[in-house]
Amino acid sequence: MANDASAVFDTLSPAVSKGSPADPFTPPADSSLWRKNFLLGAATASYQIEGAVNEDGRLPSIWDTFSAIPGKVLAGDTGAVACDHYHRWEADVEMLASLGLEGYRLSIAWPRVMDAAGAPNRKGIDFYKRLLNRLKEKGITTFVTLYHWDLPQHLEDRGGWLNRDTAYRFADYADLMSCELAGTVDAWATLNEPWCSAYLGYGNGHHAPGLANDRFATQAMHHLLLAHGLAVPVLRTNDPASQKGIVANIGRGTANSDSAADQRAAHLFEVQHNAWILDPLLKGSYPQDLFELWPGTEPLVLDGDMETISAPLDFLGINYYFRTNVASDGAHGFRDVPLEGVERTQMGWEVYPDGLRDLLIGFKETYHNLPPIYITENGMASDDEVTDGHVEDTQRISFLRRHLAAVDQAIKAGVDIRGYFLWSLMDNFEWAFGYERRFGVVHVDYSTQKRTIKRSAELVEKFLQERKAKA
């Protein structure tokens, strides 16, 4: 099957699954990944790796508050220490550079760089200046996300993303950071995964701040997207040489049967997961099908809001992990119908690389103004262990190989994809799942903070060396 990413890059051979030193990663000779201008990097997020939550003037975030509530995070874990990156950043940059990774996507902790009155916190800002300057010294392309879910708690106390004023406070934050860090950032992303912030944070309560109301979710989403729209012109003014974009997580929905009801359910899944974000950004309107799912939840939209939200982007970041098989719920929505006998990760997510390809090609057909795309997150969690100083993460190697094949197929179908970031550089605090789920290509022993390069990272390094030699 020429159109099957799993067929293009075969799954693990028996030899590899036993930890063979054979190379199961290197792409075929005709892969777009060999292009020297295709950026290959890794990604992290501030709350997931930094720790030091009470140091140098950092204020509490909604995740500090949420993770301290018993039962909200697996095993009662918090991001108080995480990977201690705030103190170990220099060694982490050396590690990143030693792997030959060309790009690094990081986020700034809003509570670390401003006080409650909106004044700069110089110690926090200086941390990011040192980090970004060192990355530039190493020749690493920098993608900086302004908001990766760690809203200052004092803003949540005033309503958080349900309060329209938070969007304006975000624009102030973007103004400060782009003035302070201009010249050290190659690409700014305003938000990471507004779907998660809105739906998991305000719709079902799985994430901070833990509210659960569909009407809250749609209003929070509108204010998140408004914040993005208000920030983009500020970023353009203060740091004109950089790219400006946003990062959206996308989900593939497939129907459990050929029935019209199940096909409609799969469509509604993708409306809720994808069009809810992409339509406002690229069409200037919300998909009306969304309110078939959630009747009566239309957000309050003021004159000019949609024009602000739909300002042109330099790039669109795409995060993809799995697909969801759905059936009609018999009413106006859908229900999950997990498939049996499919490959899954430690998260329980199905490994389905073709979903990434299909969605990317579909977006090109749907949005005629689709900007250049970077895959800003893709990866998987596995229960990795260090054995004799090594980590043989064979499933991750196969996962990455097949998903990169899917990206290559989308490029060959005409989608403008310019780079790919592994999620994640290292194991870290996985939000409501704490430290049990390991997404990194570098293993972290949380008791000692020792980093151990996994086999997947070694193979990515090897490929990059080969590509550089051929350039």
Q: List, for residues 58-72, the tens digit of each pLDDT value.
A: 999 999 999 999 999
Spans of all domains in the chain: 5-470
* pLDDT tens profile 391-440: 999 999 999 999 999 999 999 999 999 999 999 999 999 999 999 999 99
CA 334/CA 327 separation, integer angstroms: 6
Pair 362, 428: CB distance under 8 Å: no
Please write the tens of the pLDDT for every residue from 240-258: 999 999 999 999 999 999 9
Q: Which residue's structure tokens are 């980590």?
A: 391
pLDDT of residue 7: 39
Beta carbons within 8 Å of 89's beta carbon, 6+ residues apart: 127, 130, 131, 134
3-class DSSP string for the chain: CCCCHHHHCCCCCHHHHCCCCCCCCCCCCCCHHHCCCCEEEEECCHHHHCCCCCCCCCCCEHHHHHHCCCCCCHHHCCCCCCCCHHHHHHHHHHHHHHCCCCEEEEECCHHHHECCCCCECHHHHHHHHHHHHHHHHCCCEEEEEEECCCCEHHHHCCCHHHCCHHHHHHHHHHHHHHHHHCCCCCEEEEEECHHHHHHHHHHCCCCCCCCCCHHHHHHHHHHHHHHHHHHHHHHHHHCCCCEEEEEEEEEEEEECCCCHHHHHHHHHHHHHHHHHHHHHHHHCCCCCCHHHHCCCCCCCCCCCHHHHHCCCCCEEEEEEEEEEEEEECCCCCEEECCCCCCCECCCCCECCHHHHHHHHHHHHHHCCCCCCEEEEEECCCECCCCECCECCCHHHHHHHHHHHHHHHHHHHCCCCEEEEEEECCCCCCCHHHCCCCECCCEEEECCCCEEEECHHHHHHHHHHHHHHHHC
Q: Which residue has the tokens 């406002």?
A: 280
Within 13 Å and on the Cβ side, how many CA atoms surround 162? 17
Instruction: Give the model confidence (pLDDT) of 116-155 as tens digits.
Output: 999 999 999 999 999 999 999 999 999 999 999 999 999 9
Point out the least confidently predicted range of 13-17, 110-114, 219-223, 328-332. 13-17
pLDDT at 306 over 80: yes
Whether pLDDT at 104 is above 60: yes
Least confident of 15-19, 33-37, 277-281: 15-19
Residue 145: Cβ within 10 Å count: 26
Query: CA 54 → CA 83, 187, 283, 400, distances in Å?
Result: 15, 29, 42, 36
Residue 272 CA to its chain's centroid (Å): 18
How far apart, in whole angstroms, are the C-alpha atoms of residue 162 and residue 215? 10
The residue assigned the tokens 């009470």 is 54
Return d(Cα 405, Cα 419) in angstroms, integer: 13
Residue 25: the pLDDT is 87
**Which of 147, 167, 149, 145 has the alpha carbon at shortest distance from 158?**
167
**Whats the size of the chain, residue-wise?**
471
Evaluate the omega torsion of the peptide bond into residue 424 and state whether it is cis, within 30 degrees of 0.
yes
- Note the pLDDT of residue 22: 55
Span 200-229, pLDDT tens digits: 999 999 999 999 999 999 999 999 999 999
Give the pLDDT confidence score for residue 23 in this predicted structure.
64
Q: Cβ(408)–Cβ(32) under 8 Å?
A: yes
Task: State the catalytic residues.
Answer: 377
Whether this prediction's pTM lies above 0.85 is answered by yes
Please classify residue 204 by burial: count the beta carbons closer than 10 Å to its beta carbon, then call 0-12 exposed, 13-18 middle and 19+ buried: middle
313-338 average pLDDT score:
97
**CA–CA distance, 18 with 188 (Å, rounded to integer):** 41
Whether residue 12 has pLDDT greater than 80? no
5 has pLDDT over 70: no
Q: How large is the average pLDDT for residues 440-450?
A: 98
pLDDT of 456 strictly over 70: yes
Find the angle CA(99)-CA(100)-CA(102) to the nearest 5 degrees: 125
Q: What is the pLDDT of residue 6?
A: 40
Which residue in the block uniquely carries the two structure tokens 């996985």? 430
Pairing of strands 243-255, 187-192: parallel
Collect all residues with Cβ–Cβ distance below 8 Å to 334 and sequence separation of at least 6. Answer: 253, 265, 266, 268, 269, 326, 327, 328
Per-residue pLDDT for 297 more than 60?
A: yes
The string of pLDDT tens digits covering residues 150-205 is 999 999 999 999 999 999 999 999 999 999 999 999 999 999 999 999 999 999 99
* Structure confidence at residue 332 (pLDDT): 86
- Write the CATH number of the domain with boundaries 5-470: 3.20.20.80
Q: For residue 25, give both structure tokens.
A: 């990663």
Q: Is the per-residue pLDDT at 231 higher than 80?
A: yes
CA 59/CA 61 separation, integer angstroms: 7
> Which residue has tokens 């980090």?
131
How is residue 66 written in tokens? 């949420």
